[in-house]
Structure 1
């Protein structure tokens, strides 16, 4: 007699979940933080670098195209990552070390560069400062510098000063360089200049002293680490004239912003 057997296969489906080992006692990954209320801190995403992390509510984190963790949901346009300021300084050029203070005359000439009667072009370093970048990023530097122009060495004595030669135009230029990793210049770093800006200045008889003003900006990419930015000034004049220019005598701002 032939017997027929019916085999019934029951297919079971199940939902599986994965975890990275935060708040668990059975880690599945190398990164493991035990405890139900445990957290992990990522320095580059703290509130100093990213204001979207306010410390009050959970902040979404996603992995960007470079494999880095970033705050946000990764949706791109419409939810663009914040632009963060590494430095905002409204007086980034130091005052004149002589600290001249005379009534009815300028009491701060900033950093002075002198172009004497034997030269037509003189260049000097105005100031420098270091800053930290949390990860490989595009950096924007914006600066504004006031200038004060006279016809004798403003470092030599207190005001008043002789005016520049009436009717003669002088030229002032500012720019900056970046020492990557703050480890001294190499040829490539020294040859790259950013944010170059220049203007002409002329004084006529009977005029009054004031502050010419100019600003500039530059963009470049930097790796994670500590870097140093140097600002320079250039003074051009007629070969037989004496020109003294103070860079940074009044309102001088510096903003360094990171696009990460």
Structure 2
């Protein structure tokens, strides 16, 4: 069999009689055969400088073959994995009225609590339908009065459940969370299905009897708390963790938190207070784009 071999510097390019081309090999086995156990291939048109679909560390990029046989990233953006939010301290470290949730006995709803440390950096934009993955660890503290202080530790020994969750809000102005038209909370996914069987009450009146706002709640989780010691009982540095998935359509969003405190006997120490975000709060949001 005749074989033509071309040598360029230290690079060996071989073309055999069947028009198979070999690079670093004199015996190509396919139409293009790159030899060498550590051989790599670079396509400059697919790198992050030349191709906006390649987002570097923010995206797990995969190379696809389109209908024309061309190599493309993320099937022209139709499929892929994108890290949208990765925060090690998502909520402001504060024990203020904005981060406070009231004890509601066995009432039905939740309360919004906690503000993002950097609202603009907390927003994210989906360019098309995606399955959104949420993972969080949110801190909380708890007291028997509205004044956050160590000497206000609960001591009644009643078992409480501190529950937390996440909801998504449409953002009209990423630089100003309070600007624009009426706030819109996501209630349904792109197919019209209520998120997590909702709608859920995300904001109640002070007595816990009337729902003021609803949203689609995700990653609901809770932790038991009880304490009967005024001096040594823990009152802060607690964490709730949660994970969930939801389908969302194109748009700009921000993830926000809710919480509630359940207790069977509300008469024990009265209306105690809990605060979300009093310590570091981790949040990770990942988009899984699909056709």
Aligned in 2, Cα 1:207/1:97: closer, same or farther, shift over 3 Å? closer
Kindly tell me the number of residue pairs found equivalent between the two proteins: 191
4+ aligned runs moved over 6 Å, structure 1: 37-40
Match of 1:123 in 2: 110
Aligned in 2, Cα 1:227/1:42: closer, same or farther, shift over 3 Å? farther
Contact (CA 8 Å) 1:110, 1:248: kept in 2 or not? no
- The TM-score, its normalising length taken from structure 1, stands at 0.60
Deviates more, 1:237-246 or 1:248-257: 237-246
Match of 1:43 in 2: 52
For 1:232, what is the secondary structure of its paired residue? Answer: strand
Aligned in 2, Cα 1:120/1:146: closer, same or farther, shift over 3 Å? same
Match of 1:242 in 2: 271
- The TM-score, its normalising length taken from structure 2, stands at 0.54
1: CA distance, partners of 2:186 / 2:126: 20
Match of 2:99 in 1: 111
Q: For structure 2, which runs of at least 5 residues remain unmatched after alignment?
A: 1-43, 117-121, 173-182, 189-194, 200-215
1: CA distance, partners of 2:98 / 2:169: 23
RMSD: 3.5
Q: Are 2:205 and 1:207 aligned?
A: no
Q: What CA deviation, in whole Å up to 9, does each residue of 1:222-258 have, x standing for no partner?
A: 2232123221111223322231111111221000012
2: CA distance, partners of 1:203 / 1:224: 46
Q: 2:146 aligns with which of 150, 153, 178?
A: 153
Identify, as 1 or 2, the structure richer in strand. Answer: 2
Of the two, which has the highest radius of gyration?
A: 1
Q: For structure 1, which runs of at least 5 residues remain unmatched after alignment?
A: 1-36, 53-58, 73-80, 99-108
Match of 1:62 in 2: 65
Deviates more, 1:206-215 or 1:194-203: 206-215
